[in-house]
Structure 1
Amino acid sequence: MQYSRLLTTALVLLVPTPSLAAEPDGNGWKLVWSEDFETLDKDRWTLVDSHRPTNNSRHAYLPSQVSVENGRLVLLSEAVPSQDLPYRSGQVISKRAWKHGRWEVRAKLPATRGVWPAIWLLPDVDKYRWPSGGEIDIMENRGNEPHLTSSAFHYGTNPPYRHEFVFEEQQTRRNGELVDYTKDFHTYAVDWDEHGLTFSVDGVSHFRVDDSQVEDFLSKHAAPMQLVLNTAIGGDFLPDPDTSTVWPQRFEIDWVRVYERDGAPARKALVNGSFDADGGSLRGWTNFGVDLRDNPNVTAAPKTGVDGGAALKLFGTFGTGSQYSGVSQGIDVTAGQHVRASVQTFVSPDDSIAGGGNTAVAKIEFYRRFAARFESPDLIGVEEVVIATGDSKPGRWRRHMLDAVAPEGAVEARLAIVFHQPNQEAGALFVDDAQLTASKPSADCP
């Protein structure tokens, strides 16, 4: 959410709390702050009181619109005028600020035209004039698009004023149906360090921002940030409310977690190689090349797997030129370790790539830094095997294996499953039973 509120709370740097202990998927994290909203703790949160519209929004933020019910924070949006504004809503801001870490917020979004729920991070704008300290939008949603969320990073200078941003939208399916983020609670997260940002929803990473993509802003200029939770009404991001808008609307937040690094990023084993987690999902994976509105081309498809469960389904985006899409996931390695990847693939006779130009490969990629971008200088080795072509015979599962040795300097071995559509041709590939293991190097390895 582009900065649009007057923040008046003092910035307080977090001191880690050793008594708290937990970690998200993958280790290397220490829980340093959490909020379960048993009460509305005003020592932790500022309840914003403002009649200053920005981004052409049409609401006032009032403390009366913020409450706690049944262990959940509720931000209530209503078509009730306040001064010269036609709507009122709620916003809270953490009184603590952090630089680097992992933020997780479990929330259920409001659902109607004209509402703009957001979970985001922002510095003290009295000290860092926007956007000179950066802004991290963990989750934004347009109320008229319940199946879609987006994430963004804003940066620039002031003075002189210069605003740049990068963003990505995401959708996914679960049990074969598009996920509606207004029907239930979902977990929105960002990992932030000096190298970049990784955004995820329900454990699926969908957007990576490397420092080099944003003029090294994250390493050189990003400031400590406070967590902001709010629902805006109307504005530049979405259509204004109209006669179809349903009032009142509730943005409900179940809990908040903030982690700091406690050692190097680490993952000892591949997770959800069956794609069966959560009833069929990509939890644990990073997806890429997902570019079809309301028909995402990288999903977990139910009842299509080797054992009758879910399987990864890949097809092209039908864009111009060569299109690449797929998933990836990494594990820890050290130099000299033997790494083996294995997947099973299936071409359905009902949606076959046979006779066309679509292909797919499985790759083992080695990186000198965990979670580094594929095209970055941290990529130090790649091995691949073709797992599907236009000559692949449909109708039965086939296993593919790939072996490699981790080169000097490698800390991550990453399995990437990549579908290539060069000519807008139809056809899908199903992938299941993905495995990635690393064994101890032999005695004669360097």
Structure 2
Amino acid sequence: MKRRHALRTPTRRLLAAGLSLALGWTALTAMTATADQETDTDVSTAAVLFHDDFNGPAGSAVDSSKWQLETGDNSGNNREHQYYTPGNNNAALDGNGNLVITARKENPNNYQCWYGTCQYTSARMNTAGKFTTTYGKVEARIKLPRGQGIWPAFWMLGNDIGQIGWPASGEIDIMENIGREPGTVHGTLHGPGYSGGGGIGASYTLPGGRAFADDFHTFAVDWAPDRISWSVDGVTYQTRTPADLGGNQWAFNKPFFMILNLAVGGEWPGYPDGSTTFPQQMIVDYVTVTSYDGGGDNGGGNGRTGQISGLAGKCVDVAGANTANGTPVVLYDCNGSSAQRWTVHSDGTLRALGKCLSLVGNATGDGTKVHLWDCTGNATQRWAISGARDIVNISADKCLDVPWADPANNNQLQIATCSGNAAQKWTAP
């Protein structure tokens, strides 16, 4: 296995504008979701959290509700030579359902790079401030470029990078390729104590001497609590857990955002030479994220599904079976409806109608009401069910509570300091 490589230092200059949009962001505002199809046989189905198939007119820019373009040079990341441009200059739809990221040997606007006048242009985009996820299947179908010094990547960074920096934030490299290895891709973890050349990873090589530039291939990670597996075209080639980190911190149980980019040069891939032709293109068919459902390749048991009952034998209920964000979660007579069918997921969320039990405004004080909201990976959406039948919000360290111990139908539930009273006792799946 080739041991990687470069310091990928995300505090570099080109991220100053783009990443600043994400700092302090706590709610996912650009997520599309479909309802979990869950059954009483405890089999749960993943929901689509993010999908972009890059449909649109030829030459148009990427969907700005899903992606932001980073601009500038990249001295901090392995001394790359490209200048990342805005708009559709180097990243555009082709009109056939693909995104094309193009690296060119040019400098049309006298761009200045860390090493002097820039020699190349390319593009890099991320979902910071627009979409994050904690766990799930993250995949993209991509046709890679080729050539010495060419470096395409599909990867993720911890959304708290602005607060704690890299590598403490964590990095998941789903796919990296360097042009001198046309048939090999790398998947790597970076975190505190295992970053840069000390990253933990493995490589996958296509059989028969084939090159990744010859056709499209699907690159994915299946990401669960304390477990990440990498695959190419459905073939898993490595799995990593905290046991692989030599006692270092596992930095991957929290929200991450996605990045697509095509770099030119750098100490790991080397630099273009006389054999490298331009332009080079990274062609992306789609990017999809589906939720972690507690089963399948993610390595956990299926989510437990059923009703949650409490005070006066009544149930935790989504008011009116309404799936809109902000729908109150209330106490109501148990009736067996889908609005009362909750799944206890292994990521700590409680889900009904495809969405998560959440705290209004992400507040954590006594009396904060609960409602239904898109599953965002926010810590305030995580709950623990104790042996004493408390349902404790992990972020707030407070219990799910029936206000005033009033068992009336449609009494909106809240969190309150755990006291052991009957208004905080629940029977869950």
Residue 120 of structure 2 aligns with which residue? 87
Which amino acid in the other structure matches residue 8 of structure 2? Y
Residue 256 of structure 1 aligns with which residue? 287
Distance 1:223 1:77 in 2: 33
Distance 1:217 1:242 in 2: 39
Residue 97 to residue 189, structure 1, CA distance change in 2 (3 Å): same
Kindly indicate whether the alpha-carbon contact (under 8 Å) linking 1:156 and 1:163 is maintained by their aligned counterparts in 2: no
| Aligned-residue offset at 1:252 | 0.7
Residue 104 of structure 1 aligns with which residue? 139
Which amino acid in the other structure matches residue 226 of structure 1? F
Matched ranges for 1:236-255 at <5 A: 236-255=267-286
Residue 93 of structure 2 aligns with which residue? 68
**SS across alignment from 1:246:** coil
Residue 55 of structure 1 aligns with which residue? 78
Matched ranges for 1:6-155 at <5 A: 6=12, 7=15, 8-9=18-19, 10-11=21-22, 12=25, 13-14=27-28, 17-19=32-34, 28-39=45-56, 40-53=62-75, 54-63=77-86, 64-69=89-94, 70-81=96-107, 82-83=111-112, 84-94=117-127, 95-124=130-159, 125-155=161-191
**SS across alignment from 1:150:** strand
Distance 1:76 1:162 in 2: 26
Residue 134 to residue 222, structure 1, CA distance change in 2 (3 Å): farther
% identical equivalent positions: 29
Kindly indicate whether the alpha-carbon contact (under 8 Å) linking 1:35 and 1:257 is maintained by their aligned counterparts in 2: yes
Kindly indicate whether the alpha-carbon contact (under 8 Å) linking 1:156 and 1:162 is maintained by their aligned counterparts in 2: no
| Aligned-residue offset at 1:220 | 5.9
| Aligned-residue offset at 1:179 | 3.2
| Aligned-residue offset at 1:20 | 6.3
Distance 1:259 1:187 in 2: 15
| Aligned-residue offset at 1:213 | 1.4
Q: Does 1:189 align with 2:207?
A: no
Q: Deviations over 1:180-207 (max 9, x none)?
A: 2111111000011222210000000001
Distance 2:153 2:246 in 1: 25
Distance 1:85 1:50 in 2: 10
**SS across alignment from 1:98:** coil
Which amino acid in the other structure matches residue 34 of structure 2? S
| Aligned-residue offset at 1:3 | 2.3
Q: Deviations over 1:248-276 (max 9, x none)?
A: 001011001101123x3138xxxxxxxxx
Residue 164 to residue 28, structure 1, CA distance change in 2 (3 Å): farther
Which amino acid in the other structure matches residue 47 of structure 1? L
Distance 2:262 2:37 in 1: 29
Distance 2:158 2:9 in 1: 13
**SS across alignment from 1:245:** coil
Consecutive unaligned residues of structure 2, counting only runs of 5 or more, are 1-5, 57-61, 303-345, 347-429
Tell me which moved more, 90-99 or 219-228. 219-228
Residue 221 to residue 244, structure 1, CA distance change in 2 (3 Å): closer
Q: Would you say how many aligned residue pairs link Structure 1 and Structure 2?
A: 265
Per residue, is there more strand in 1 or in 2? 1
TM norm structure 1: 0.54
**SS across alignment from 2:214:** coil
Kindly indicate whether the alpha-carbon contact (under 8 Å) linking 2:101 and 2:261 is maintained by their aligned counterparts in 1: yes
Distance 1:68 1:260 in 2: 27
Kindly indicate whether the alpha-carbon contact (under 8 Å) linking 1:20 and 1:33 is maintained by their aligned counterparts in 2: no
RMSD over aligned CA atoms reads 3.2
**SS across alignment from 2:244:** helix
Residue 212 to residue 32, structure 1, CA distance change in 2 (3 Å): same
Residue 342 of structure 2 aligns with which residue? none
Which amino acid in the other structure matches residue 277 of structure 2? V
| Aligned-residue offset at 1:35 | 0.6
Tell me which moved more, 49-58 or 179-188. 49-58
Which amino acid in the other structure matches residue 170 of structure 1? Y
Distance 1:230 1:3 in 2: 12
Distance 1:195 1:261 in 2: 13
Distance 2:158 2:278 in 1: 32
Which amino acid in the other structure matches residue 261 of structure 2? N
Residue 220 to residue 38, structure 1, CA distance change in 2 (3 Å): closer
| Aligned-residue offset at 1:178 | 3.0
Q: Deviations over 1:64-115 (max 9, x none)?
A: 2111112211111011133222111111101311121110100000011111
Residue 219 to residue 260, structure 1, CA distance change in 2 (3 Å): farther
Distance 1:109 1:162 in 2: 23
| Aligned-residue offset at 1:171 | 1.0
Kindly indicate whether the alpha-carbon contact (under 8 Å) linking 1:93 and 1:226 is maintained by their aligned counterparts in 2: yes
Per residue, is there more helix in 1 or in 2? 2
Kindly indicate whether the alpha-carbon contact (under 8 Å) linking 1:194 and 1:218 is maintained by their aligned counterparts in 2: no
Consecutive unaligned residues of structure 1, counting only runs of 5 or more, are 268-328, 334-369, 371-446
Residue 28 to residue 182, structure 1, CA distance change in 2 (3 Å): same
Kindly indicate whether the alpha-carbon contact (under 8 Å) linking 1:194 and 1:219 is maintained by their aligned counterparts in 2: no
Residue 234 to residue 222, structure 1, CA distance change in 2 (3 Å): farther
Distance 2:158 2:250 in 1: 15
Kindly indicate whether the alpha-carbon contact (under 8 Å) linking 1:121 and 1:136 is maintained by their aligned counterparts in 2: yes
Residue 181 to residue 88, structure 1, CA distance change in 2 (3 Å): same
Distance 1:71 1:126 in 2: 34
Which amino acid in the other structure matches residue 169 of structure 1? S
Residue 399 of structure 2 aligns with which residue? none
| Aligned-residue offset at 1:127 | 2.2
Kindly indicate whether the alpha-carbon contact (under 8 Å) linking 2:69 and 2:124 is maintained by their aligned counterparts in 1: yes
Q: Deviations over 1:24-68 (max 9, x none)?
A: xx9742221111112421121011111232311111111221111
The match for 1:168 among 202, 207, 212 is 202
Residue 113 to residue 219, structure 1, CA distance change in 2 (3 Å): closer
